[in-house]
Structure 1
Amino acid sequence: MPPPGPSANRPRSPFTPLDFQLVLLRRMADHNPDLVAAARRELGASITDMREANKRWQAMLRSPHARAAATRYRSVLGAPESTTPRRIGDLDCEALRWPVPLWPDLRFEVLLAPHGALWNEWLVRAPDARPPALRTVDDLTPWSCTVDEAARAFAPARPLEGTAPTRWGLAFTAPDGQGVRRRVVAEFTWGLLQRTAITGPEDAPGHR
């Protein structure tokens, strides 16, 4: 049997914030491949790098020795930029946020329930960043807003079940460029808008 190659016993490199950004992009590539390709180039990463990062991340999640969510994110992203208590109903929760260099105006937020259970993980607007102006359907461009921003701008919005983990949907009405209100379904990945579909005018038969 030939001797092992020079990298056979080399320890795998640590999973870095760059790798995590590639994980975020991998889930967005199905909807916006051109935006993802441009972001990859900005990060200096290839498609292979992105796929390998996602493969390693999934292995971490599915490992029988998987760490708690907070521990996992701290090991990859370092100490959070902020840790904020948050009250949801009758529960005292904790929101941890980290900067995301690819999107300077956003933060990656992990919401932990009591005892460290993971409730949510998505991108939100940074506290000191200016939110987008969302007035019409035309303003809902890919990567322009987060779930909570769209829900506030076009309230009341109805949450929809996502088509896969880390995906969310919202149904609401919004005016088009001519001021006609339209029924809209918006899809989000990791909390960031990916695409919208106009399903008809607000007063279409069967609309609730």
Structure 2
Amino acid sequence: MGPMPPGKRPASPSAGPFTPLDFQLVLLRRMADHNADLVEDARHELGVSIADMREANKRWQAMARSPHARAAASRYRSVLGEPEAVLTRQVGDLACEARLWPVPLWPGLRFEVLLAPNGAVWNEWLIRAPGAEGPALRTLDDLTPWSCTVDEAAQAFPPVRPLQGSAPTRWGLAFTAPDGEGVRRECVAEFTWGLLQRVAVVGTPAGG
């Protein structure tokens, strides 16, 4: 995690506009189910309480579910401001727009919102910042919480099988990877907002 962003959570989190700091708390709230200790450290770094985190998540859910809610793409722009970068990503035959924002808690990452040609949000998750060096992923020991993104794990241990997540902001991958002794293991990795949360070893492939 990087240095604390300028300013801390004001005394009354429900007052005022929803800010980029609030959005970081939304990301952390989902990750707390798997990595409470890491979230606790991040919360202290941001200078916020558990109640602040819960309130931010409550406000985010209320904005998303309101009958008068903005479209998802507009909501992200209103909360996070203008994107740091706007890129074109090819998805099959379609040219899609990717909007990237910095996330101070993870300086090497960016929050990406991928838009379909009609403007609908197709995906929203954390990715490695363009030009930033990713982690060296060689064995299971390298797959520590918050160490890599979905794409990085998929590229390090092909072939992978996508798994349905337990919530809209969660993803899973099934693959094989060597342990510290070089024995290949069948694994399931779980991601929240695109960031690795945990890896479970589920078996050893035949002949592994």
Asked whether the two chains share a fold, i.e. TM above 0.5, the reply is: yes
| Identical amino acids, percent of aligned pairs | 77
Aligned mates of 2:145, 2:80 — CA distance in 1: 25
Question: Which residue pairs with 1:57 in the alignment?
Answer: 60
Aligned pairs, number: 195
Q: Secondary structure in 1 aligned to 2:64? A: helix
The match for 1:95 among 87, 93, 98 is 98
Question: Which residue pairs with 2:118 in the alignment?
Answer: 115
Question: Which residue pairs with 1:16 in the alignment?
Answer: 19
Q: CA deviation at 1:20?
A: 0.1
Aligned mates of 1:97, 1:155 — CA distance in 2: 26
Aligned mates of 1:114, 1:127 — CA distance in 2: 22
Q: Secondary structure in 2 aligned to 1:14? A: coil
Unaligned runs of 5+ in 2: 1-13
Question: Which residue pairs with 2:109 in the alignment?
Answer: 106
Q: Deviations over 1:103-132 (max 9, x none)?
A: 000000000001211100000001121100
Aligned mates of 2:154, 2:24 — CA distance in 1: 25
Q: Secondary structure in 1 aligned to 2:33? A: coil
Deviating above 4 A after TM superposition, structure 1's stretches of 4 or more consecutive aligned residues are: none
Q: CA deviation at 1:71?
A: 1.0
Q: Secondary structure in 1 aligned to 2:118? A: helix
Question: Which residue pairs with 1:162 in the alignment?
Answer: 165
State whether structure 2 residue 134 is matched by structure 1 residue 131.
yes
Q: Deviations over 1:157-181 (max 9, x none)?
A: 1000001110000000000011000
Q: CA deviation at 1:203?
A: 1.4
Aligned mates of 2:81, 2:19 — CA distance in 1: 9
Could you say which structure has the larger radius of gyration?
1
Q: Secondary structure in 2 aligned to 1:35? A: helix
Question: Which residue pairs with 2:70 in the alignment?
Answer: 67
Aligned mates of 1:93, 1:66 — CA distance in 2: 23
Q: Is the 8 A contact 1:171 1:183 kept in 2?
A: yes
Question: Which residue pairs with 1:189 in the alignment?
Answer: 192
State whether structure 2 residue 88 is matched by structure 1 residue 85.
yes
Aligned mates of 1:23, 1:133 — CA distance in 2: 28
Aligned mates of 1:47, 1:30 — CA distance in 2: 13
Higher RCO (C-alpha under 8 Å, 6+ residues apart): 2
Q: CA deviation at 1:44?
A: 0.5
* Aligned residue runs from structure 1 range 31-42, under 5 A: 31-42=34-45
Unaligned runs of 5+ in 1: 1-10
Aligned mates of 1:185, 1:37 — CA distance in 2: 25
Question: Which residue pairs with 1:48 in the alignment?
Answer: 51
* Alignment root-mean-square deviation, CA: 1.3
Question: What amino acid sits opposite 2:141 in the alignment?
Answer: D
Q: CA deviation at 1:68?
A: 1.3
Q: Deviations over 1:179-198 (max 9, x none)?
A: 00000000000000000100
Question: Which residue pairs with 1:144 in the alignment?
Answer: 147
Aligned mates of 1:165, 1:52 — CA distance in 2: 20
